[in-house]
Each structure stands twice: as structure tokens, then as C-alpha cells.
Structure 1
Amino acid sequence: MRDGVVVCGGKMGDAAEPVGATAGPVFVGIPEPKTASMVLLAPPMKSAPSLTPQQHLYFYSDQDWEEFTLEWVRALSDPYVLVTRMGGAGDRGADVAACLTDEGTNGDWHCYQCKHYEAALQPADVWPEIMKILVAKVHGTYALPTRYVFVAPKIGPTLVRLLANPASLKANFFKAWAKADSPVGSALRAEDRAAVEALAQVTDFSMFKAVDMEWILKLHADTPHHSRRFPAPLSPRPAIELPPQEEAAHEAVYIQKLLAAYNEKYGLALVALNDAREHLKTKGHLKRQREAFYSAESLRVFARDSVPLETFSAIESDLYDAVVEVEERDYSHGFERLDAVLEAAVNHQPNTGNILYPVITVSDRKGLCHHLANDGRLTWCKGDEDVS
């Protein structure tokens, strides 16, 4: 069993809707999830119905569930300002807290209590958790959250019905509370028990919800861990943005190497991007190379957000191995070397087993040559090795 993860945060409309999508919070005491060092391969062709991601979660071990939880918690974004681990044993209802304001759990917050049992989550499983958050309020540990959401791979139908009816949920909590042999509150000191009961009487039980696991999986899908855990074809690749008008800082090296190749071929003295953009002999070629560079950059970002790092590195390394022998041959000038390397890149076929293969374009392959030039691994004019 793995439980006790609480995430507190901003104003979420429905439990199934994600919160925020831009800048992320500060994480304290929550490690960056470990990404397995692996090249992700394309999933095999389906010959029979496969498990859905949610069904995969049913069979997770305690360790798998904990790692999965860290992955989606680390994917939380704006409007959260702080996400922090609150403790283990004796956590008083909060293990990890993510908060909307600098007031933390003294301000506006939501809780996501994550539980992983072999069986579906039942009312008897949640009564102690409801009690713990009420006790924490009585002791001044936290303010009551504005929403408390149970997260579990399976939630039983009885609990689903109760969570949809706050009055019935509250009534059934008090039935469990009143039983002589109940584990809910029977161990509390008399004064604490009275205070918790009084607080429960005035608490709006509509704060307790069950989140749809599809929301959690959607959040997790925006991390590079998702494709590793749940092999499936990649999501569509976003449209490629055109290069900006002005040269970006990360273009400096490959642009200078291009200018050197132009100068050597045409006897020019180009020193800046605009010089080549305005010259009749170079402007068209330069435009295509910048578009290719940004195409490869979009592939890199898409891969970074979708698959383990090594998956993209394998594509880049494979292309380098395909062109480096061509680059090292003798040529009359640097532009001739550049032209030969680009032709070799266009003719190179990436590893069809790599999951990125279906989304790689000819422009990506050309652009990766410029990325390699940027990194100092390829050079067009052999007197330019110091450019990088």
C-alpha cells in the first residue's frame, strides 16, 4: 500500500480539470523523478487488446506507485507557488503539500490524498483520512483545505455515490465515528474528540471529492515519463515555428560556420546574419538552413517533453555516425563539404525502431547537422575549428 500524498493548490473548477499550465512552483523535499537511461522503441503492432494506462496502475507495486506519484506531482504547474513534502509517519493528513499562496497550508489549498490498494477504495478507507485532516485543523497544524481529493486507481461505487452526495457522506462519517469499536477517533483524547466532532458538524463535506484518474494521467502525459510507463504511439508533433527575424544566441556558432563557408566559396566578407540575408547568392540558402535548424530544435523539444533523453540522443548520434566520414573527406572549399554532409544527412534513414522515427523529417536531418556544428562536432571550413 502507498498512501499519504497531499497536494494543495489553486481554485480548480471540477476535480477532473487540470490546474494551470505554465510556470511551475518551487519544489522542496520532492526529488526530480528518476528517468531510466533508455532508448524508447516504437511500440509493437497490436495483435490483441492491450491494457489502458489506468489498468496498468491497478497492478503497480508500492514502489511503482510512489514513483508515478512523484512524476505527476512534479508536473504540477502555475498557479501553485510551493510544493513541499510534509513528512512520513505522523504526517497528520499531509505528506506533500502544493499551495497557491505564500501562506501555504494556512491559506487556500487543495489536498490530493493518493492511495493504492489491491481492492477498490471503500468508505472505510477514507474515514480515518477525513478524521486526520480535521484533527490537524483542531491542533492548528493546517487550515482546512478548500478541496480534498482522493486519488486511487480504483474507487468503489459506494464511495463514488457518497462523494457525490455530501450530506450522505457526512452522515455516514458520523455513523462510523459513533461506533464503539470504530478506529475513527476512538483513540483520541476526550477533549480532542469533542473538538473534532464539533468541527465535523460545521464542515462542508462537499470539499471531499474523488479525482478522475484520467486527469492524473493527462497531467502525467505531459512528462517524458509517460511514454516509458505506457508504451503507445507518440502524440502529434506540434507545428514547427519559423525562425525569428533576429539571430538568437543559440544560433551563433553554426551561423558563423555558414558565413565562413559562404565567404570561402564566393569570395565574400560576410560577418553577420544580415549580411548573408541581404546577399543574392546566400540569402535563399541561409533561409533554408535556419528553417532546418529550427525544425531540428522543435524535434529536440518535442522529444524532451515526450521521451527519455537517450531516445533523442540516439537519433542525433546515429546521424552523426552517418555523416562524419563524409565531413572528414578533402574538399576544395567549406561549402562543398557542407553540401556533401547535408546530402548524406538527407539520404540517411534513422533507426526505424526508435519511437521518434515516424516524426523525423528531411528538414530535421539537415537541421541536426547544424546542431552538431553548433556543438563543435562538425565544421565546414577546416580553418574554423576554433569558431565553436
Structure 2
Amino acid sequence: MNLFNYTRHILSLDAEELEILVRKWVSVQSNKYVSVYRHAGAGDRGCDVIGFYSNKKFEGDWDNYQCKQYNKAIPTDTGMHEIGKILYYSFIGEFSTPRNYYFVAPKGINRNLKSWILNPSKLKEKIISQWEKYCEFTIIDGDRIELTKDLENFISKYDFSTIGIIGIDEIIDDSKFKAILVELYGGDLPSAPSAEVPANIIETEFNYVSKILDTYSDHDKKTYSKPDEIIGHDDFEEDFTEQRERFYSAEVFRAFYRDNTVNSVLDNFENEILKGIKPTLRLDFPSSFIRMCNVLSEAGKLQPSGKLAIHGKIDVKQGYCHQFANEDKLNWRKKK
């Protein structure tokens, strides 16, 4: 059970610290953004943390994370001002309109503003009809930004359903956010899901599977070129099933923590496994099958350091041996 009170930590952050936290979170979404930028200081044009979908940056698609850490829920006038600002600067060509606009507000959003955000057509109507109240004299200090017909048409075409809210619950529940909170404040990472082994061998398995079959051939002094050829074998049929289970335990583990850890947490875990098995891999054995069995046994005994150690069960550590074989980082049969 994770006893760390992340809510307390997040609510105690100041405005800049919240932006830094959000930038870390946006940065780990590598499958979504090609680059991330945090606009520190004044003159941000309504942009706090930006996730760019392409190298076109502001000339292409991008998301804006507007971070607000107040001692209370974000007031209506503040939220409407921020929306008006991003739309105005988009209108005058400072950047394209964001694909998505998120208020990151750990202490929430005023009920009135939340109601409008959750009803996009109402939000559009309100920002146009009340532009003078919320935006006309606030976007640029000492200057007036009148709602011209062209600006109103521009705002009318904007998709207000792309404006969302990220509150404390979303922060705590998001697995990528959780990885950063664990890194910063301690606690345990979530466990990886259980592995399911496909009934049929798929293309991405061919390399390590062929190497396993080669160990059987070496041990029996008989050629096994296909898995079907070991059906009925006293040792190899069951062993082969177990080896695929190990491979997929590591496969699921790897995929889950690649998406849900930060920095080099997963790389460090994998490097320790590889280094830990290499001394046994270098020893001489009567056959490559016996070498494989000894290496797997050694892998199961390893005790890696770091946050993933508690989650790296025996089958995962042994399964990494087949992951390495699949990537040609090791071979069971020694070169002559």
C-alpha cells in the first residue's frame, strides 16, 4: 500500500513548481509530443507548458497546459481572461490555435467557470458576449483589445470542446504523473499487468525462439527447426511453453514501465540484469541448453536496485534473457 500523500505535496507547490511538475509530466508523453517547452516569466502570451506534436512547433499542432496554483479555485474572470488571451494571440498570428487547451488546477475551478467549460457552446457564447468584462482591458496592460468583427468570427470558429480541466484527481490517478510523483516524493510505482501469451508464435518472437530451438538441437544432437518438432518431447515441450511465458512476462513489464517511469529507471533495471547474467553466460557448459538453463537460474536470483526491483519478479528477470536474445545482445551457443 502506498502511504505517500501526494495530494498534500501537490497542493503545497508554488506556481513555478507546479509548472515544472507539469513540464516533467508532458515530457514523458513521448508517444504524443516531439518536444515540450515551458514559457517561464512574463510575456508568455497565455502559454505555460506547451507540447508540440511536430517540429513545426507553433506553426503546427500543439497543446497548451495553463497551470494555475492559487489558494482557492480559479475564479471565472481569471479563466476567461486566459482563454481570451490565447485566442487573441492566435488571431494576430503569434501562433496557431492550440489543438487542446488544459487548465491544470490542483485546487479546482470556480463552479461557474467549470459549468461553462463543460458546456462548450455556452463558453463560446459567454466569451463573446462578455468580452468587454473579461478580456477587453486585461489582455495587454494599459491597452484595449476591442472585439472586432474579424476577431469575433475567429473566436466563433474555435472548437471550445478542446478546452479541458486537469484537477487534483486527474493528476493523482494518471500513471505517468504517478511515476513523476514517486520520483520526486517517494513511494512505489504501480504493478505491471499480467502477461498473456499468444497461442501462435508471432513474427517478433522468431529470433529468440530460433535460438531456443537451437539449444534443444545442440543438447539432443538432433535438429529441431520448428516448435512442432518438439511436441511430445519429455523435456522440451514443457520447457518451450515456459520460455514463452517468461518472454511475455518481460515484454509486458517492459512496455508498461517504458510508459510509466521517468528518466533512466527502466534502462538501469535492464542493464543490471544484462550485466548480472554475463559471467554465467561466459562459462563453458556441456551444451547450450544447459548454458541457457544456468543463465536463467542466475537471472532469477538477481536483486537489481531501484524502484523496479520490487516489481521484477523471477519470471520477468528470466524473461529478459529472451528479450536480450531476441535483440541479439546474447547467444546461447558459443561461437567456435
Q: From the superposition, tell whether residues 209 and 220 of structure 1 become closer, same or farther in structure 2 (CA, over 3 Å).
A: same
User: Matched residues in 2 for 1:381 and 1:77: separation?
Assistant: 37
Deviation, structure 1 residue 197: 12
Query: Are 2:289 and 1:373 aligned?
Result: no
Question: Is 1:249 matched up with 2:204?
Answer: yes
- Which secondary structure does the structure 2 equivalent of 1:129 belong to? helix
Aligned to 1:52: 6
C-alpha deviation, 1:240, in angstroms: 0.3
Q: Is 1:295 aligned to residue 249 of structure 2? A: yes
1:305–1:227 distance in 2 versus 1, CA, 3 Å: farther
Shift of residue 328 of structure 1?
A: 2.9
**What's 1:68 paired with?**
22
Which amino acid in structure 2 is aligned with residue 357 of structure 1? Answer: A
Change (3 A) 1:145 1:320: closer
Structure 2 residue aligned with 1:12: none
Q: CA deviation at 1:268?
A: 0.4
SS at match of 1:356: coil
**Cα contact 2:213–2:227 (8 A) shared by 1:** no
- The corresponding residue for 2:119 is none
Give the letter aligned to residue 160 of structure 1: R
Q: Compared with structure 1, are the counterparts of its residues 146 and 160 closer, same or farther at alpha carbon in structure 2 (3 Å cutoff)?
A: farther
- Counterpart check, 1:350 vs 2:300: no
Normalization by structure 1: what TM-score? 0.61
Which residue pairs with 1:150 in the alignment? 103
Give distance in 2, aligned partners of 1:138 and 1:310: 41
Residue of structure 2 in register with 1:25 after alignment: none
Preserved CA contact (<8 Å) 1:58 1:153: no
| 1:274 counterpart = 2:227 | yes
State the distance in 1 between where 2:185 and 2:309 align.
18
Q: 1:250 to 1:62 in 2, by over 3 A?
A: farther
- Per-residue CA deviation, residues 63-92 of structure 1 (Å, 9 max, x unaligned), is 6614523633763989x9x99989997665
Contact 1:338–1:380 (CA under 8 A) maintained in structure 2: yes
Q: Which runs of 5+ in 1 are unaligned?
A: 1-42
Find the residue that maps to 1:164 and give its secondary structure: helix
Determine if contact 1:134/1:199 at 8 Å carries over to the other structure. no
Q: What does residue range 170-249 of structure 1 map to in structure 2 within 5 Å?
A: 174-175=132-133, 183=138, 187-188=142-143, 193=146, 195=148, 199=152, 210-219=165-174, 221=176, 225=180, 227-229=182-184, 231-249=186-204
* Matching of residue 114 in structure 1 with residue 66 in structure 2: yes
Match of residue 164 from structure 1: 115
Output the TM-score relative to the length of structure 2.
0.68
Distance 1:86 1:118, change over 3 A: closer
Q: Deviations over 1:298-330 (max 9, x none)?
A: 222222122236333443344444443333333
- 1:305 equivalent in alignment to 2:259: yes
User: How far has the Cα of 1:114 moved from its partner?
Assistant: 0.7
Q: Which fold has the larger relative contact order, with Cα–Cα distance below 8 Å and residues 6 or more apart in sequence?
A: 1
CA distance in 1, matches of 2:97, 2:201: 52
CA distance in 1, matches of 2:271, 2:97: 53
Structure 2 Cα separation of the partners of residues 380 and 233 of structure 1: 35
The amino acid of 1:334's aligned partner reads: S
- Tell me which residue corresponds to 1:332: 286
Match of 1:284 in 2: 238
In the TM superposition, what whole-angstrom CA distance separates every residue of 1:31-75 from its partner, at most 9, and x where no partner exists? xxxxxxxxxxxx9x85xxx43247425415626614523633763
Give the secondary-structure state (helix, strand or coil) at the position aligned to 1:150. Answer: strand
User: Pick from 361, 367, 370: which aligns with 2:313?
Assistant: 361
C-alpha deviations, 1:144-191, integer Å up to 9, x for none? 9999653223346xx33454366997788755679xxx64678445xx
8 Å CA contact 1:243–1:291 kept in 2: the answer is no
219 and 336 in structure 1: CA distance in 2 versus 1, 3 angstrom threshold? closer
Name structure 2 gaps, 5 residues minimum: 117-121
Q: For 1:142 and 1:317, how far apart are their aligned partners in 2?
A: 43
Structure 2: distance between partners of 1:283 and 1:224: 40
C-alpha change, 1:131 and 1:269, in structure 2 (3 Å) is closer
Alignment check: 8 A CA contact 1:149 1:211 kept? yes
Paired residue type of 1:269 = T
Residue 125 (structure 1) aligned to one of 65, 68, 78: 78
CA, structure 1 residues 309+240, in 2 after alignment: closer, same or farther (shift >3 Å)? farther
The one-letter code matched in structure 1 to 2:186 is P
Deviation for aligned residue 1:373:
3.4
Amino acid at match of 1:367: G
Give me the whole-angstrom Cα distance separating, in 2, the residues matched to 1:356 and 1:318.
Answer: 11
